[in-house]
Amino acid sequence: MKNLAVLTSGGDASGMNAAIRAVVRTGQARGMNTWGVFQGYSGLIEGNFKRLGTRDVSNIIQRGGTILGSARCPEFRTEEGVELAIRRLRGAGIDGLVVIGGNGSQTGANALHKMGFPVVGVASTIDNDLYGSEVTIGVDTALNVALNAIDNLKVTASSHNRALMVEVMGRKCGYLALMAGIAGGAEAVVLPEIDVVPEQLAERIQDVYERGKPHAIVVVAEGAKYNAAGLCEYFEQHNLLRGYEFRSTVLGYVQRGAVPTCADRLLGTRLGSEAAEQIIAGKHGVLVGCSHGELITTPLEEVVTGEKPLPPWFLKAADMFAR
């Protein structure tokens, strides 16, 4: 193996650039030529490759997003698309590929693996829903952005005696909402994993008001049955809340593009470097992740079929501390 490539795919996550940098520099330290694939799997099919040297990845570790870009690629979901991508890679003399991304990205990596091309995945998604890693690149930064917003919104909510429904990202996983809710001292969290009964939620908020709190914060995961605006509308239509004014706020993409935290820079560096080491050593068809502070590998087939539950203790804590 002499030529190693790296691509990023799916939603951007702060810390991806640290992982790219680590792949390139680890590859070079092991005598490899390293290549960047631009615009994800779309660039893979188009042969959008560029040789990356040490200087090309200088001064990127502190940047959010991904210098390689990302794009949707319906063509890659077909067998013909995967075969074309492999022809592009082999035609460029590339011997192995590191894929940095979440569920969809690793599904693509597994498709390449099943067709015989050496590939290793790196766990990267702010949703933290990827099986095979306790925490993924981008999660810590996204949580800190959400937490800062909740802290600021709490000030305004207290000033105006309001109940705020704060919607955070996470697709169908409630991890971001759960952790931000606990760390932000929210009065309730609304998760996709647990059916919410609006009447019961309203009772909890009403109880908070009657106990004299000047505000109530409810953190809502975007994939929940009712989103933030939907809850406000339901409360208003059914006249469920008295006392507080209520508003909804959607944080949205602001959670993605922040300057990566120290934790995400270090995690991206560790996972990217280990992915390069794995593929250079001839070990591929796996995802590099982290569990209890240690690096682990999980077969890609398990990654794309496995489900990652929310941490049980934190589920209990969210209810216990929301008083």
Nearest CA to 40 among 74, 64, 14, 15? Answer: 74
Single-letter amino acid code for the residue at 266: L
Give me the count of residues in the chain: 323
Containing 253, the helix (H) or strand (E) segment is none
110: its two tokens: 């597994």
Q: E strands of the chain, at which residues?
A: 3-8, 33-37, 49-51, 96-101, 119-123, 162-168, 188-190, 216-221, 245-250, 286-291, 294-299
How far apart are the C-alpha atoms of 5 and 69, rounded to whole Å? 14
Q: Report the distance separating Cα 181 and Cα 147, nearest Å.
A: 8
Question: Which residue type does 103 have?
Answer: N
How far is it, in rounded angstroms, from Cα 80 to Cα 108?
A: 13
Q: What are phi and psi of 57, to 5 degrees?
A: -110, 15
Choose among 101, 108, 98: nearest CA to 124. 101
Question: If DSSP codes are grouped into helix, strand and coil, which group holds residue 137?
Answer: strand
With tokens 């959010």, the residue in question is 64
Select which of 12, 56, 95, 127 is catalytic: 127
Q: Does the annotation count 129 as an active-site position?
A: no
Catalytic residue positions?
A: 127
